[in-house]
Amino acid sequence: MAMDRRNWDLEARWTEILLAAGFLTRFPVPSVVHEDRSLARAGWAFPLVGLVVGAAGGAVFALADRLGLPMLACGLLAVATTMLITGALHEDGLADSADGLGGGDAESALAIMRDSRVGVFGVLALILTVGLRAAALAGIADRAFAFAALVAAHAVSRGLLPGVMLWLDPARADGLGAEAGRPTPAVAAAAGAIGLVMAMLALGRGRGLVAALIAAAAAALVARLARRRFGGYTGDVLGAIQQFGEVVMLLCASL
């Protein structure tokens, strides 16, 4: 009986990893049963998916550096790789959130965020975040540390998301927030802890801890703004928080 329960637990955890990977990336993963609220339960695995995405970007950075490309080009190629893997999911959320902030009341802002067209605020936000990430990687100028920085940035920035989903209410009655459900405190804590451990292993205990704390503070500020502006979080808001966390982590690593 104990062995059967352990096997079931392992199967459930693996299913949650697949759910997280299927939601956060374009990796071809086997179809799994999407039970009600299952994505919220899979939140602990978000930083694990981030590790894979960051490692892919780091590998491209290292290859480009070995080929002798300029550091800025290496950084841009690494960022492009991560966007290709995720389908620019988080960048899309950032652009929509930036456009929503320029709207009128909360209802108007949410309607703007659902519009597939990108406005000037969204374009500017994308230019700034892509540029900051590439510039931070170019400033590191060391392929091994850039690899580590990308792993830490993508793990921590995704590890923060379940905490936001726990803290805030969904801004809409439908959409990602309502469908995903609310993670338990244990899931949110596990996601944050996994991201923090990865940051400390990748960047060193001191730098990793400080960078993760600053990223968490940035995520909290964006989440608070979303609650005041939109009445809660949406999938777009989560994308914006991931982008802010990633930028902060890379900038801290480049210091």
Of 34-38, 126-130, 223-227, 231-235, the one with minimum mean pLDDT is 34-38
Please say if the pLDDT value at position 153 is more than 70.
yes
Sequence-distant (6+) residues with CB within 8 A of 136 are 75, 149, 247, 250, 251, 253, 254
Question: Residue 7 — pLDDT band, cuts 50, 70, 90?
Answer: low
Please say if the pLDDT value at position 173 is more than 80.
no
From CA 177, how far away is CA 234, in angstroms rounded?
A: 6
Q: Scan for tokens 């179809």, then name that residue.
A: 31
What is the overall mean pLDDT for the chain?
90
pLDDT on residue 3: 46
From CA 80, how far away is CA 210, in angstroms rounded?
A: 27
Q: Which pair of structure tokens corresponds to residue 106?
A: 């909360």
Q: Which pair of structure tokens corresponds to residue 117?
A: 């067209």
Hey, is 55 helix, strand or coil? helix
Question: Residue 165 — pLDDT band, cuts 50, 70, 90?
Answer: very high
Question: Residue 130 — pLDDT band, cuts 50, 70, 90?
Answer: very high
Please say if the pLDDT value at position 163 is more than 90.
yes
Please count the residues of the chain.
255
Q: Single out the residue of 125, 173, 130, 162 nearest to residue 42, CA to CA.
A: 162
